[in-house]
Chain A
Amino acid sequence: GAVVSQHPSWVICKSGTSVKIECRSLDFQATTMFWYRQFPKQSLMLMATSNEGSKATYEQGVEKDKFLINHASLTLSTLTVTSAHPEDSSFYICSAPRGTNEKLFFGSGTQLSVL
């Protein structure tokens, strides 16, 4: 079964609204989680590294004030897309390392469509 749960699977929202996506590690603690974005026919691009109890680390070109990341517990990281616009429409997916070899497990992804 899934070890990383991501919700919602898809969301449609109006331009200007905010959308929150949750990523949970189900049976392990994750001090670090990763958030990726994938546009159609393009590769997954790392947006940010979510760190439990501290600020997220954003990749170059990703607006931290637009993509708010909160990692308040060892099993939950959230990504909030603030004031969403149609160009934010994309597939967002989280991942978390688990185990001594830190194998990565992915959430099932969230398809965001902004009208």
Chain B
Amino acid sequence: RKEVEQDPGPFNVPEGATVAFNCTYSNSASQSFFWYRQDCRKEPKLLMSVYSSGNEDGRFTAQLNRASQYISLLIRDSKLSDSATYLCVVTPGSGNTGKLIFGQGTTLQVKP
């Protein structure tokens, strides 16, 4: 079983749509949780951290459910520029600070 699992998609949505991505992780001791965005053959860029209390950044809302080991990302009012691969990322429960475990990524294609 993969440590971080995501639906690879692709998700094809029209501009203005709301889209949700899900992610599950296997290590209950995982410490930190993030969503990254990666454009084709580019470095991943931090989109937002994810907290149990939930957090929002503009059109983006992230949620963490530790009991279910489940992370979500909601994008409202999708823009063409949101087209990318969204990576669910966790850090291990112990060991190296900065060591990240990436999900496969979910591809989003926003169409006009």
B interface SS class? loop
- Let me know if A95 and B98 touch, CB within 8 A: yes
Interface size class of A (residues with CB under 8 A): 20 to 34
The residue in chain A whose Cβ has the minimal distance to the Cβ of B43 is A106
Q: Are B96 and A91 in contact (CB under 8 A)?
A: no
Question: When each residue 26-59 of chain A gets 1 if its CB lies under 8 Å from chain B and 0 otherwise, what string results?
Answer: 0000001010100001111110010000000100
Give the bracket for the number of chain B residues in contact with chain A: 10 to 19
Q: Which residue of B lies closest to A10 (CB)?
A: B41
Q: Is the CB of B102 within 8 A of A44?
A: yes
Residues in chain A near residue B96, CB distance under 8 A? 32, 49, 57
Inter-chain contact B104/A106, CB cutoff 8 Å: no
B99 at the A interface (CB under 8 A): yes
Q: Could you tell me if B97 and A46 are in contact, using CB atoms closer than 8 angstroms?
A: no
A87 to B58, CA, bound (A): 42
- Chain B, residue nearest A33 (CB): B98
| Contact code string A5-38 (vs B, CB < 8 Å = 1, else 0) | 0000000000000000000000000001010100
Residues of A within 8 A of B97 (CB): 32, 97, 102
Q: Which residues of A contact B99 (CB under 8 A)?
A: 34, 46, 49
Within residues 51 to 65 of chain B, which ones have a CB less than 8 A from any CB in chain A? none
The 10 closest A-B pairs by CB, nearest first: A106-B43, A97-B98, A43-B102, A44-B102, A43-B104, A109-B43, A102-B97, A108-B43, A104-B98, A102-B98
List residues of A (70-113) whose CB comes within 8 Å of B's CBs. Answer: 91, 93, 95-97, 102-104, 106-109, 111
Name B75-94 residues within 8 Å CB distance of A: 87
With a CB–CB cut-off of 8 A, which chain A residues contact B103? 43
Contact A107 B43 (CB under 8 A): yes
Can you list 18 A-B pairs with a CB-CB distance of less than 8 A? A34-B98, A36-B102, A41-B8, A43-B102, A43-B104, A44-B87, A44-B102, A46-B100, A46-B101, A95-B98, A96-B98, A97-B97, A106-B45, A108-B42, A108-B43, A109-B41, A109-B42, A111-B41
